[in-house]
Copies of this chain bind each other. A is one copy, B any other.
């Protein structure tokens, strides 16, 4: 008899965190749930794992920072990025409160994503990655 497998992968881990509210460390941050903010015991550490653990997340964040902030444009820019996955990432980053989704009621529909104030904090992490990259390259 084998016990059921623990939830382990990034997206699953996130769900688990939200459900159980169990912290990895002592801090808490906010996670946006539908229309209200719900406090959960998720850490930046866990958030970073959950985000970076998902393929294309860093790519998407980089793109938006470069000003490529419309889904269609992103897909055109990146080879191999499918609609489904792109949307999953955008939804997730939005749920995390890192991105804000701006919908323009036009025809054809237009949507733009931008960093929230909260999300801007995360850019530091992207920065540090690029900084390391630069350091290692310059040698």
> A interface vs B, CB < 8 Å?
8-10, 13, 27-29, 43-45, 48-49, 52-55, 58-59, 118, 121-122, 124-125, 127-133, 135-137
A44 touches B121 (CB 8 A): no
> What's the number of copies of this chain in the assembled complex?
2
Chain B residues within 8 Å of A130, by CB? 44-45
Shortest A114–chain B CB gap in Å is: 19
Q: Which of B9, B45, B132, B135 is A129 in contact with, Cβ under 8 Å?
A: B45
Least Cβ–Cβ distance between A64 and chain B, in angstroms: 15
Bound-state Cα–Cα, A133 to B43, Å: 7
In the complex, the chain B residue whose C-beta lies closest to that of A9 is B55
Given A27-B133, A128-B128, A136-B44, CB of A52 within 8 Å of CB of B53:
yes
A122/B132 contact (C-beta < 8 A), A52-B48, A58-B49 known: yes
Q: Chain B residues with Cβ under 8 A from A136's Cβ? A: 27, 29, 44, 118, 121
Shortest A124–chain B CB gap in Å is 5
- CB contacts (< 8 Å) of A55 on chain B: these are 8-9, 13, 49, 53
